Amino acid sequence: MLDDLFALAQAKPVMPSDDLMARILADADAVQVAAPAPTQSIWAGFFDIIGGWPSVGGLAMAGVTGVWFGIAPPATVTTFAADLIGTDVTVDLLADSSSYFAETLTDG
């Protein structure tokens, strides 16, 4: 009798209904949406923290501008610094060394 019951249970075909499949796929979508985003790189996380690529562009522009102001400051900046600090100091880093190199080359 028991083997007959086992055989009967095994013989019964069971196919999932469309409704069951729809419910299961809806669950899958809900869990997938709720799950945290896949792990990202350290750089991607850093860029997100500072505001993304637009912020990185702004930082780069500010850096270039600062370097340019250091090399060739506009007159208004020099005047403003003199007014603020009360003195105006100009340091020429290249003049002497240029002539030194010129002499060395001439003598050599």
Which residues bind to other proteins, rule: CB under 8 A?
Answer: 1-2, 4-6, 8-10, 12, 14-17, 20-21, 23-25, 27-29, 31-32, 35-38
CB–CB of 83/75 below 8 Å? no
CB of 33 to other proteins, least distance (A): 9
Q: How far is the CB of 49 from other proteins (least distance, A)?
A: 22
CB 78 within 8 A of CB 88: yes
Q: Which residues, other chains included, contact 81 with Cβ-Cβ below 8 Å and sequence gap of 6+?
A: 88
Rama region for 90: left / alpha / beta (φ>0; ψ in -120 to 50; rest): beta
Of 38 and 108, CB closest to other proteins: 38
Q: Which is nearer to other proteins, 11 or 89 (CB)?
A: 11
List helix spans (H) across the chain.
2-11, 18-34, 42-50, 53-71, 75-85, 95-107
Q: For other proteins, give the closer residue by CB, 34 or 71.
A: 34
CB 81, min distance to other proteins, A: 55
Q: How far is the CB of 53 from other proteins (least distance, A)?
A: 22
Closer residue to other proteins in complex, CB, 34/105: 34
